[in-house]
Amino acid sequence: MKLITFLLFFVGLTLQGYSQNLIDLTLRYSAAQNRYEVYARPTFTQAQFNWGSSQVSIVTPATSVSNTAFTVTSYFGGSWDDASQVYAPLSAPGSDFHGISSQGKKVDLVANQELLLFSFTLPLSVCVSGLRLFVNGGDPNSGATGMQGGDFTNVIYTTSISQSQTNVFQMVYANSGTSCTVCNLVAPSLSK
């Protein structure tokens, strides 16, 4: 009985530790760099994390962005490319969808420290407010009207020693839409 209790305890610790190895994503606009930036924030620290095939999808306002692929610059997590696009589908006529994908590459991760995966610019390097990351389970899936079978789900795979792939993407954060303005409000001084 003690052996069974010990084994269950050990398996529980292993699963608990593994389940905490997740990665969150965010998108923001850098006015200083004149580009959009996608960051990963891991819940764990690991040197040489085996970042596998991945997709991070961007949703844009359909009427504000031309129907062309983004110019992507890769930093970490492999070579990123705007591999698939769907423009103003009937299921979401006000939005365009861009699937930015990578085959992955090993990377050092530090818990709760953001890592710049890639940046991109829109055609003519214009800034458009309201870009955000795709919301898994909330935005149209591949079977939705007009999505042309395109799956824009955010995924980050890692490959274990046994060669099994696990999706470690957890969620998007601060995803209310990018802003192109820098707001530096200064309170007026009061005098008597």
Nearest residue to 84 (alpha-carbon basis) of 61, 64, 103, 57: 57
Confidence of residue 50 (pLDDT cuts 50, 70, 90): very high
Q: How far is it, in rounded angstroms, from Cα 140 to Cα 4?
A: 46
Predicted pLDDT at 104: 94
The CATH code of the domain at 2-172 is 2.60.40
Name the band, by pLDDT with cuts 50, 70 and 90, for residue 42.
very high
pLDDT in tens, 148-166: 999 999 999 997 766 678 9
**Distance in angstroms (rounded) separating the CA atoms of residues 70 and 98:** 8
pLDDT digits (tens, 9 = 90+) for 13-38: 444 444 579 999 999 999 999 999 99
Domain ranges of the chain: 2-172
pTM of the model: 0.83
